Structures are given as structure tokens and as C-alpha cells.
Amino acid sequence: MKLLYPLNIKNDFLFTPTPRDFIVTEIPLYEFSGEGEHLILKVRKKELTTWELIGIFARFLGIKNRDIGYAGLKDKYAMTIQYISLPAKFEEKIATFEHDKIKILDTTKHNNKVRVGHLKGNMFELRLKKVLGIQKDKLDSALEWIKEYGIPNYFGVQRFGNDGNNWEEGKKIIEGTMRVNDSKTREFLVGSYQSYLFNSWLSKRIEISLLFEKFSDSEVEGILGIPSGSLEGVKKQKHFFKILNGDMMMHYPFGKVFEAEDLQSESERFFLKDTAPTGLLPGKRASRATGIAGIFEEQFDEEINVDGARRYAWIRVEDIKTRYVMEKAQYELSFILPKGSYATNVVDVLRG
């Protein structure tokens, strides 16, 4: 599936996810108390998935993988720093742990186990290579655009497997033409298909937003084949990503879902970074868009017998910092994204 990005530039640079050029640091949701029955490890890993990391610790301690808590899954092809929890009774034994791809940076205690989602976000540090003068200027310009507008919140390639086709197996499971007995594998594959549908919807909505760069409201209505007056006033919205009647919004960076009724008001709040539109992860108990927004959402909605959800369609990139090393033609970049978001989206927008 081709993912669409809004910048009309072409920027060639080299980015290879390696522990040297790609560092991910987890930002905890809260401060740890320093006491309790759970031991919190701040660990640095490289060339390992989070599942592999957990398995290594579980085998060393002689416990089940499920006894170890984690907040999020981190990239394999990166240097990553994250927090995991395990029973505090292993404090003495863990002090003897050694591994060539894992280093325990710090330990503390807490009352609760670390659980999935218990993080504010992640800080990413990237090194882009073969960045010459004009490319450096393009990157600077693109980052100014990102600071102003943010980026699409696509699911990254990690969600779809090495061949990018996990979603196809997830679809077969939903259609009943494929059976997977392992519940975790089945959940992952179905989630991959939900993610594929979300990405497809987001590409469609970016495609629609791009139309307003060249055409009037009425012309876009004609191109899309929707009733006259449906998009009145949409073109004049300040943000690149256009809000449509019936879009489901959320306060940003967290909050309840609500329907966009007054387009002028909601588009202004979105531009001011107070709210953001959401897309659908199809499934049970998830609210649906209505009106014109619902027409496009239902094209990517399917009956899936798992819980659905709303996901931010557009996110902010915070605390952007850059450093250009001219003699090496390298562009060093760091930024913070909310949990569940992918640094590859920033890279892809920078490429144009």
C-alpha cells in the first residue's frame, strides 16, 4: 500500500536503522515510587525485540514471560532504552545479570507492575547521512512545516511484518478461511489488519486534503462525487489536513471522543493543537464517524469480532532539535512522539 505524505518535495538522504544511528528512549507515564513489590529495571538493548529481551530475562530468572511487565514494544534495529518490571524478590539475583546486547542502567522499586501503555511517549534520536547543502535546507524547511502542522499517524512497517503482508493473514482469520490457535498470534494478525484498514483510510483522507491545494470546494465535491455544498468552507481551513462534517475528534494529547459539528470552530481548535481528528480501528464498541466523514470511513470499516478503537489521525512532533555536521554530511535529529507512534513517519515526511 502506498502511503501519502503532504510535502511536495523530494529529499534524498540515507537513513539506516542501526544502534549507532537510531536511538529510542521511553518516557515513563509517571515517576516510580522507590518502594513496593515490583523491581523496575531501566534497560538498554540493541538488536533485540522487546519480546526477545523479556525472554532472556525470564530464562535467567526461571520465571514466565508474563511475570515481566513492559510498557511498549521497541524497535529491534535500534539502540533502545525502556523500563520493565519483575518481582522484587529477584533484586539480588538480577545484580549478577550480564548480556552482550543488554545493559541494566538503573533499578528502583514500585507498587505496581509496568503495563502496556504506561508511557507518555518516546524520544527518538536519528542520524541522517549523505545530506548535502541543498538537502540540509530542504530538511530544515520540512521540519518547519512539521512544527507547524504535525504529521500523519500511520502505523509503521513494524506492524505488518518483514514482508508487509501480516494483514492478509489477519483478514483471512476474520473471513474464517484461516485458523490460528495461538491467541497472541491471532490477536497480532487481526490487529495488523485493523492497522491496514486505518492506514488505507488515512491515505484516502490525505488524498482528499491534497485536492484542496489545487481545487475549490465545489470542484472537490465534483471530483469525489458527493452532494453540492457538502464541503462548503473546508478549503479555507488553516490546517493542511481538512476536517469534514461528522469527523470524530479527540482533545489532544488525550481525551474523550466527540463529533465535529461546527467545522469552523473544530478546524481552528485543531490548528491550535487543542484537538485532533481520529480514524477508526474497526471492531466492536468503537464510535463511528457520521455525515460526509462517515461516507469515506465506511469504505474501510468491516465487521471484526474484536474491540475496535479510535486512533489519532494526526499527531504533533514535540521538542525537535537538529545539528548539522557539514564535514560528515550528517544531519542529527531528535524529537518526541506520543506512545503508539512511529519515527518512520517523520522520516517519510522528510523524504517528501
Rounded to whole angstroms, the Cα distance separating 324 from 333 reads 9
DSSP strand E in the chain: where?
A: 22-28, 38-46, 69-70, 79-87, 102-110, 119-128, 151-152, 248-251, 257-259, 275-281, 309-312, 314-315, 318-325, 330-338
Using the structure block, give the residue that is written with the C-alpha cell 500511520. Answer: 154
Residue 140: strand pairing partners: none
Q: How far apart (Å, rounded) are the C-alpha atoms in residues 168 and 76?
A: 23
From 12, 21, 67, 75, the catalytic residue? 75
Question: Shortest CA distance to 151 belongs to which of 128, 124, 170?
Answer: 124
CA distance 230 to 226: 7
- Does residue 75 carry a catalytic annotation? yes
Query: What is the per-residue DSSP string for 148-198?
Result: HH-EE-PPPGGGG-TTS-HHHHHHHHHHTS-----HHHHHHHHHHHHHHHH
Q: Which of 274, 265, 201 is nearest to 233 (CA)?
A: 265
Number of alpha helices (DSSP H) and beta strands (DSSP E) in the chain: 9, 14
Q: What residues are annotated to the active site?
A: 75
